[in-house]
Every structure is written in C-alpha cells, then in structure tokens.
C-alpha cells in the first residue's frame, strides 16, 4: 500500500520535472534530463534543484538560464498533474523503483515529513516572493535560538538555509524544535506575503505531503 503510494508520488514528480524542463528545453534534452533526475536525484529533497540543474547544464550543454529552468520546474511541481503531458519512454520508471527501494532509511518518518513539508512550503513561499527570500532566511537564523535550536543544530540550520536545502536538514531535531523552526518561517511569511497567503501555502503543502507514505506514521500537522 505504502509502496504503491510512493510510486504514484514519484511518477507525479517525474512527470512534473519533465513538463517543467520541456517548457524551456527541446524534447530530447528534456527526456535525457528527466532520466538523469530519476537515476540520481529522485531520492534527494524535491526542491533541492541546484545540483540537478548544475549537472544537466554541464552534461547536456544547455544554454538556457538556470533560473529560468528552475522557475519552470517549480511551477510545474506545484501544478495539477492531470493537466501535464506524459513523459515519453516510460520504460525508465521501474529503474526508479529499484533505486528507491535501495535508498537508505537514515532518518525517521518525522524528519522526512518535516523535510518534505519544508521543501514544498519554502519553494512555494520563495516563488511567491523571491525578493524577500534572504530577509526571511536571516530572520529565521537570527531567531532560531529562541525556539530552542542551538549548537550543532543551529549550524545545520544555517547550512540548510544558505545552501537552499541541498543538504539534509537536521536529523536530531525534536518535534518541538521543528514546530519552532516552522513557526519562525510562519511569522516571517505572514510579514512578507500576509497571513492569508501563508495559510494557503501551508494548506497546499500539507495536501501534498499527506500523500507521502511517511505521513501515515507521522502527521504533518504535528509540526504546526
């Protein structure tokens, strides 16, 4: 049951990645880039796109601006899957399943759910107000100690914030610390995009994250 849900979710992501790439690349390049994502980046946090973009730009010799590709992919990830075109050469999907099955289970469900949720939420937040991304991150880092995040965890938060989620977020965080960290983002998000839009983004992110199998073990609402 869980495996079926995981496969569906990954198939949705694959389709979204392809459609995002296809909006600014030729079909051949988009298919090749999607294959690369499947084989090497599908197990990484969804919105940690920078390493993936670096790789395809270098390997496929793509001349389109990186920011442009990223924007299209993010937009595609947040769009309804039913409105998107299918990926050609679906034969690659079983490869992904094997890859996922081999993925090490290093972090428990709560951290996975939290990481997924933050990835979705922050991608949507920074997409809606990219100008304030730095200010929000600075605010969160400056106030992280107030929600009980200090020492090693604080360093990890700093690294996570500065590297756009490319590094794994703290595996030693307690639920209270997760709540605190999310709350800091909530407060700054209210300030920059308003409480109504913030609640909307949270609702959208929750809807997506609740489809993940880990959500059955740990409710994303516990981090609010």
Calpha distance 168→163 (Å, rounded): 10
Q: Is 120 in the site for other proteins (CB under 8 A)?
A: no
Instruction: Quickly list DSSP for 205-222.
Output: HHHHHTTSGGGGTS-GGG
Residue 119 Cβ, how far from other proteins at the closest point, in Å? 18
Per CB under 8 A, 190 contacts other proteins:
yes
User: Binding to other proteins by residue 207, rule CB under 8 A?
Assistant: yes
Q: Cα–Cα distance between 121 and 130 in angstroms, integer?
A: 13
Task: Give the integer Cα–Cα distance in Å for 97 and 129.
Answer: 35
- 194, two tokens: 């308003």
Distance CA 109, CA 203 (A): 20
Q: What is the DSSP code (8-state) at residue 38? A: I
Kindly state the smallest distance separating residue 210's Cβ from other proteins, in Å.
9
Which listed residue (54, 59, 79, 224) binds other proteins by CB under 8 A? 224
Which of 3, 194, 216, 217 is close enough to bind other proteins by CB under 8 A?
Answer: 194
Residue 75 CA, chain-centre distance (Å), reads: 12
User: Contacting other proteins (CB under 8 A), which of 206, 212, 214, 215?
Assistant: 206
The reply on whether position 221 binds other proteins by CB under 8 A is: yes
The residue ranges that bind other proteins (CB under 8 A) are: 175, 179, 183, 186-187, 189-196, 198-199, 202-203, 206-207, 219, 221-222, 224
């Amino acid at each position: 049951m869980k495996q079926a849900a995981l496969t569906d979710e990954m198939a949705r992501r694959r389709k979204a990645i392809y459609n995002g790439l296809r909006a600014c690349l030729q079909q051949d390049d988009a298919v090749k880039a999607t294959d690369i994502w499947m084989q090497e980046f599908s197990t990484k946090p969804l919105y940690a796109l920078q390493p993936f973009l670096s790789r395809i730009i270098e390997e496929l010799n793509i001349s389109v601006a990186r920011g442009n590709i990223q924007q299209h992919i993010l937009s595609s990830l947040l769009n309804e899957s039913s409105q998107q075109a299918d990926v050609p050469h679906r034969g690659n999907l079983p490869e992904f399943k094997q890859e996922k099955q081999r993925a090490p289970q290093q972090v428990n469900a709560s951290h996975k759910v939290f990481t997924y949720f933050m990835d979705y939420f922050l991608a949507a937040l920074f997409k809606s107000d990219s100008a304030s991304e730095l200010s929000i991150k600075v605010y969160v880092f400056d106030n992280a100690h107030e929600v009980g995040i200090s020492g090693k965890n604080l360093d990890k938060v700093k690294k996570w914030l500065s590297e756009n989620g490319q590094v794994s977020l703290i595996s030693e965080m307690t639920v209270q610390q997760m709540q605190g960290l999310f709350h800091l983002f909530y407060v700054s998000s209210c300030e920059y995009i308003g409480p109504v839009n913030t609640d909307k983004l949270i609702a959208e992110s929750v809807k997506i994250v609740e489809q993940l199998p880990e959500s059955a073990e740990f409710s994303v609402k516990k981090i609010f």
